[in-house]
Amino acid sequence: MTERVVLAYSGGLDTSVCIGWIAEETGAEVVAVAVDVGQGGEDLEIIRKRALACGAVEAEVADARDEFAQEYCLPALKANALYMDRYPLVSALSRPTIVKHLVAAARKHGASTVAHGCTGKGNDQVRFEAGISSLAPDLKCIAPVRDYAMTRDRAIAFAESKNLPIATTKKSPYSIDQNVFGRAVETGFLEDIWNGPIEDVYSYTQNPAEPREADEVVITFEAGAPVAIDGRPVTVLQAIEELNRRAGAQGVGRIDMVEDRLVGIKSREIYEAPGAIALITAHQELENVTVERELARFKRTVDQRWGELVYDGLWFSPLKRALDGFVDQANQHVSGDVRMTLHGGRAVVTGRRSDQSLYDFNLATYDTGDTFDQSLSKGFIEIFGLSSKIAAGRDLG
């Protein structure tokens, strides 16, 4: 039986060329797998037919939008996942989703190898291959762009020589990756970190400097998950999609940053993630209302580590799974409503309410009805500062 390779297929030039390239270099048959995580663009059936026309022996497409939102975006929301305190893991979250479908296809079609179109400079090669090795240690991985020096000019020449049904002349000045949770843009003039982004870079968001009416939204959460918007029940996917539209229309979620890649280099990235940023902002505030102080302090440390693991491609690692359990437990009381104003590129919380609230008005108020016994504070301060006082006596004596 001829050996088979499962290819993560996007429908673009590089992965279309990879089909014939892999066949020539390895002698294997190629099974193309395209996974819809809300990236938009072409119809999946058109992509499937293109893969077959480019030489794939089989081609599969999967609508994984709800799966991606529920099983990958939602855990990130519960963990307030922001790599380097800013990036909501747009691309990093989609890779394990795709990996799961690639491994399933490899089992179904009897493939021994999985291929992807990543370069040797980015994070995605790690995310794909570390994920595949965690789910299926017996599978091999190849990356034609990295392993066989498949440069763009060589890819174009190959496509033209084989008359592949793919456009080979138009080249975007940017490298773009997008899904329902957000959009990532890099390369081109953005590689000079002194150059500011221009409006052409953006697609999910409108210019926040343009005058427009503010938009007020109320998001309802149950155990950390968004379940309603303005009182209307929604799925996680629907919540992200609606807030992409509404927050995006207000310019919310634009991020311009230099980030630390796993491979050791710094990279300038432009992100736009209006729904993700609005939801994380609301979720963080509801945690402030419902999560006990010491748990909240420790969770911030867990949230950061969770985000680093996912960014680094370790979604299926033992530590990530263990932290998932903590994050779910910490979210058990994160239920209630958060009201936000979306305007001028910002999502600003203006109200919060919850049956699980730890906020006690009578303890917090400075007016009549105050139930906080202030006389207890003097002794508390004496004991709280005692160790520092003793040390100061030694060090200043």
14, 36, 303, 312: which is the annotated catalytic residue? 14
Known binding residue 259? Answer is yes
50, 94, 124, 303: which is the annotated catalytic residue? 124
Sheet of 266-272: strand order equals 175-179, 182-186, 266-272, 254-260
Known binding residue 267? Answer is no
Active-site residue, 95 included = yes
Q: Three-state DSSP class for 341?
A: strand
What residues form DSSP beta bridges with 236? Answer: none
Active-site residue, 124 included = yes
Active-site residue, 14 included = yes
Known binding residue 385? Answer is no
Known binding residue 357? Answer is no
Helices 376-384 and 386-396 sit at what angle, rounded to 10 degrees? 50
Known binding residue 172? Answer is no
Known binding residue 184? Answer is no
Known binding residue 336? Answer is no
Known binding residue 290? Answer is no
86, 112, 175, 245: which is the annotated catalytic residue? 175
Length of the chain in residues, anyone?
397
In 10 A of CB 151, how many CB atoms? 10
**Nearest one of 70, 80, 60, 22 to 327, comparing CA atoms:** 80
Residue 264 corresponds to which tokens in the numbers above?
């050791």
Known binding residue 87? Answer is yes
Give dist(CA 23, CA 371) in Å, integer. Answer: 76
Active-site residue, 147 included = no
48, 50, 65, 95: which is the annotated catalytic residue? 95
Known binding residue 253? Answer is no
User: How far is CA 38 from each of CA 45, 178, 380, rounded to the nearest angstrom?
Assistant: 15, 8, 54
Query: What's the maximum distance between 2 C-alpha atoms anywhere in the chain?
Result: 86
Known binding residue 175? Answer is yes
Known binding residue 13? Answer is yes
Contact yes or no for 64/101 (Cβ under 8 A): yes
Annotated binding site for ATP: 8-16, 117
Catalytic residue positions, numbered: 14, 95, 124, 175
Annotated binding site: 8-16, 87, 117, 119, 123-124, 127, 175, 259, 271
Annotated binding site for L-citrulline: 87, 123, 127, 175, 259, 271
Annotated binding site for L-aspartate: 119, 123-124
